[in-house]
């Protein structure tokens, strides 16, 4: 056996069946019985990958065999499956919102700002100037309003705490790295259990209100990749021992540099380019992909 196909669905809607595993096994020409990681939710199929086959192409063939069922398929090399470093995006990945859009809602600019955010996350416009433009519109917001947004508008993505705490319990280092703002990442990282966080800094005026400026240099696509490389070297790891997850175009360089880069409910360009994609499962899918069984999860 050289490779693994992990089939996983949303644990809130278990739809994975033995018949699906049988069909997937036929596509993969597997000679081994599937292994359930969580009945009805996630399972592994072990197989030999031919020299000319690509993992994304194989995953696509398996998905097609499942008749568009709400099941994700991740194909990877069996060696080095469990990762020792996790870098995760925040907005629309570890949380369900885009923080800057929620701040803009406080001043009646959500539709305008959200449209710019969407274009930037799709990769249609450059991230850095788009961030500066949106931050300018936030001028005058006070810190109390920002904290109220965090408390009342921001929700954690299901499975995030289990992902981070299970990996950390097994010796991995976890970093929240965001093109958003440290005032948010400091709270979210603590709530989920990350070891540390990196993000952009909103600048406040002497009156305690946002100045409409963000500290330079902006943490964008290249900075996210640099963060992955920094933490990899700091912990003496090779690329294959790293896992990165994100949804937007500013995550792509980080995803490409990781041993396993996962597009989580991502924009089309990101989903197409990443090593693997999660469209249906929650963040515990990243534990199943590493071979963790449900009874091995920590936290949640």
Give ∠ CA 288-294-295 in degrees, rounded to 5: 140
- Catalytic status, residue 44: no
251 is an active site residue: no
Q: Using CA atoms, how far apart are residues 211 and 95, in angstroms rounded to an integer?
A: 26
- One of 10, 44, 72, 89 is an active-site residue; which one? 89
**Catalytic, out of 72, 91, 247, 251:** 91
Residues labelled catalytic = 89, 91
């Amino acid at each position: 056996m050289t490779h693994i196909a992990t089939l996983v669905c949303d644990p809130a809607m278990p739809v994975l069946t033995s018949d699906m595993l049988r069909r997937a096994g036929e596509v993969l020409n597997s000679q081994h019985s599937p292994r359930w990681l969580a009945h009805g939710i996630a399972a592994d199929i072990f197989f030999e990958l031919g020299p000319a086959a690509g993992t994304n192409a194989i995953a696509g063939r398996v998905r097609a065999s499942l008749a568009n069922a709400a099941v994700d398929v991740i194909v990877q090399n069996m060696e080095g499956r469990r990762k020792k470093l996790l870098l995760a995006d925040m907005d629309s990945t570890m949380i369900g919102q885009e923080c800057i859009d929620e701040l803009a809602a406080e001043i009646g600019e959500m539709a305008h700002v959200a449209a710019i955010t969407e274009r930037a996350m799709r990769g249609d416009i450059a991230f850095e100037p788009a961030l500066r433009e949106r931050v300018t519109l936030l001028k005058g917001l006070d810190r109390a309003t920002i904290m109220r947004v965090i408390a009342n508008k921001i929700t954690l993505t299901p499975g995030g705490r289990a992902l981070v705490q299970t990996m950390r319990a097994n010796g991995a280092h976890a970093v929240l790295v965001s093109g958003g703002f440290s005032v948010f990442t400091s709270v979210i990282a603590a709530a989920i259990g990350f070891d540390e966080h990196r993000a952009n800094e909103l600048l406040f005026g002497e009156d305690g209100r946002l100045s409409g400026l963000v500290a330079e240099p902006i943490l964008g696509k290249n900075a996210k990749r640099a963060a992955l490389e920094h933490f990899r070297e700091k912990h003496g790891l090779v690329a294959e021992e790293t896992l990165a997850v994100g949804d937007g175009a500013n995550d792509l360089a980080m995803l490409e540099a990781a041993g396993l880069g996962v597009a989580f409910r991502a924009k089309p360009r990101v989903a197409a380019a990443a090593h693997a994609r999660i469209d249906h499962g929650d963040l515990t899918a990243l534990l199943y992909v590493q071979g963790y069984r449900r009874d091995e999860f920590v936290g949640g």
